Structure 1
Amino acid sequence: MNRPYAIVVVLMSLLFCMNAQASVTLSGTRVVFPAADKEVTVQLTNDGKQPALVQAWIDKGNQRTSPDAIDVPFVITPTIFRVEPGKGQTLRILYTGEPLPENKESLFWLNVLDVPPKVSGKDDVNRLQFAFRTRIKLMYRPAGLAGTAGDAPAQLKWALGTDDAHRPVLKATNPSAYVVNLAGVELKSGGKTYAAELGYVGAGETASFALTGANGAALAGGTVHYSSVDDWGTAHAHEATITK
């Protein structure tokens, strides 16, 4: 067997041996922590056929932060545990009481790392194994905030702008006290439709969203069609006119 062909065969064998799905799933796509509650819980389930070693932690937004280096006002328990096939585990998240803004939501991220069991013996030959990481938003919601989370998405103000590389972007300003999570954004301008990257807009903040295929386009206004995701993961459609 010549060398190039041998390399192709090995790569193909690796691809076919990869497990391309995470076994551990979460009960929701986001976590809301009301300030009036002492703790919230998140349910995990191992839908796979093998035991899973799981590590859980919370970060402030930098997904590269090591679990050992995090500094957040929450305690999560357990942090490292084993989940048998078809079984579940409840995560408890407790607020430590360290000061957070009382006039708006604070955004954090819950991380769940699913590490498959190590394959031993003959099955270990030409096999790639991956640890799958699930990362969802954790929103700390103070009591008595103005308005409601359901009304916040419609309050977004949209404008056109450019990024540091002078590429066109959509800018969304959120005047509400709630984090707005977006599931889809597109701009209709000059008879064309431009898709925007997805993301969220923090409470009282402005976020920029790159526009696909808009480089060099003469954008002078238009309509933004976007969908927001509520506390239960349901999407809602919205429409807004570009403001100057």
Structure 2
Amino acid sequence: MMKSLFFLCSTLLLSVATYLFFPSMANAAVSIDGTRIVYPAKASEITIKMVNKGNTPSLMQIWIDRGNPETQPYDSDVAFVITPPIVRIDPKNGQSVRLMFTGEKLPQDRETLFWFNALEIPPVSADQDKSSLQIAVRSRLKLFYRPAGLAGDAASAPNLVKWHIVPTAKGGYVLRGQNPTPYYVTYSKLNLQTSGQHYDLGNGMIAPLSSEEFSIKGMQSYSKGAQLIYRPMSDYGVGAENKTTVH
């Protein structure tokens, strides 16, 4: 009995550890339509479609959080209602969930960011080896609440960010992006070119009417007219590569 209990606990711990630290080891059978979700303020509800590309049924648990990835479904307290919060998707089939705004008071001069979570729980067959490892895979997408009447448009917002190279107190440099728009801007690629050197800054996001700093590892100096190569992400996916001058 104790041996069985120990094995069960070990299996659960290993599953959790694998899920938290090595998510790339687990391939999700269910895909979510789109790379982000936008909820227009005037919408009474929106639908999110999921497709099971696998060969077995999948059970999906859906919840939303405000930015803390450790938020659990039972303590999620956000501005949306999901129907249904748990859904079964048969193999090679799709299923939709509805998202409805509760009317919570949110800023009307800028977007508000939430996160849409979809936990895929794999099925367990009766003849499955008891020693096999079952891994629940979570997909997490940005969910933007977008008020009506915001100035400009989300698609052009990434091109309006002002970039500056700023020295730090420790002797290094950071790239500071100043977002003057009411939209969240997201980049899948940021690459700084200056003095014949290239610095890969990875990806990132800047909140509306805010600034964000990106560490420039290895930079000792820079020349005037540095160039930033960036690839923005929009409501429709990854955009075309672009270039701008850094001040």
Q: Under TM normalisation by the shorter chain, which class is it? A: 0.7 to 0.9
User: Residue 218 of structure 1 aligns to which amino acid in structure 2?
Assistant: S
User: Residue 120 of structure 2 aligns to which amino acid in structure 1?
Assistant: D
Does 2:132 align with 1:132?
no
Pair 96,190 (structure 1): closer, same or farther in 2 beyond 3 Å? same
Does 2:218 align with 1:215?
yes
Pick from 141, 148, 151 the counterpart of residue 153 of structure 2: 148
Which SS does the other structure have where 1:239 is aligned?
strand
Name the residue aligned to 1:26: 32
Which SS does the other structure have where 1:102 is aligned?
coil
Q: CA deviation at 1:164?
A: 8.5
**d(CA) in 2 for partners of 1:60, 1:194:** 32
Name the residue aligned to 1:116: 122
Pick from 77, 85, 91 the counterpart of residue 85 of structure 1: 91
**d(CA) in 1 for partners of 2:177, 2:187:** 11
Which SS does the other structure have where 1:104 is aligned?
coil
Does 2:227 align with 1:230?
no
The answer to whether the 8 Å contact 2:231/2:238 transfers is no
State the aligned residue count: 223
Q: CA deviation at 1:216?
A: 5.2
**d(CA) in 2 for partners of 1:133, 1:224:** 33
Unaligned runs of 5+ in 2: 1-23
**d(CA) in 2 for partners of 1:70, 1:233:** 27
The answer to whether the 8 Å contact 2:188/2:238 transfers is no
Does 2:245 align with 1:241?
yes
Please report the RMSD computed on the Cα atoms of aligned residues, expressed in angstroms.
2.1
**d(CA) in 2 for partners of 1:201, 1:19:** 29
Pair 166,72 (structure 1): closer, same or farther in 2 beyond 3 Å? farther
**d(CA) in 2 for partners of 1:63, 1:203:** 21
TM-score (norm 1): 0.84
Unaligned runs of 5+ in 1: 1-17
Q: Which moved more, 1:191-200 or 1:62-71?
A: 62-71
Pair 23,167 (structure 1): closer, same or farther in 2 beyond 3 Å? farther
**d(CA) in 2 for partners of 1:174, 1:185:** 15
